[in-house]
Amino acid sequence: MSHESTHTARGIVAAPHTLAVEAGRQVLAEGGNAVEAALATAVAIAVVYPHMNHLGGDGFWLIREPNGRVRYIEACGFAGTRATIKSYRDAGYDTIPERG
């Protein structure tokens, strides 16, 4: 897997897809901040890299404010209770499928 990155005079954007990097870079180039660039990158990732990310995915954020205060946002959901080894074996799988 390759990861793409770019930097501007205002910061650096990194993501596993070029178009997601470009979305974040564009926000920075237009004067946006790091949080706005990260959101743009995340939204683009949901579109261009859906097999690895999606709008219902988890998020773990450390945000440092200009005054130095660090905030943490944990936006993770519950694991599927029916996604067990037994449920996949009963469905005829030896390994968990890439999707579903």
Q: Which amino acid is at 82?
A: R
The DSSP secondary structure of 17-83, one letter per residue, reads SHHHHHHHHHHHHTT--HHHHHHHHHHHHHHH-TTT--TT--EEEEEE-TTS-EEEEEE--PPPTT-
Domain range annotation of the chain: 4-90
User: Smallest Cα–Cα separation from 98: which of 51, 39, 28?
Assistant: 51
Can you give the pLDDT at residue 1? Answer: 46
pLDDT in tens, 40-99: 998 898 888 887 776 666 778 888 888 999 999 887 777 677 778 898 899 999 887 776
Can you give the pLDDT at residue 63? Answer: 87
pTM: predicted TM-score of the whole model, two decimal places = 0.60
User: What does each C-alpha distance from 19 to 26, 35, 80 come to in angstroms?
Assistant: 10, 18, 30
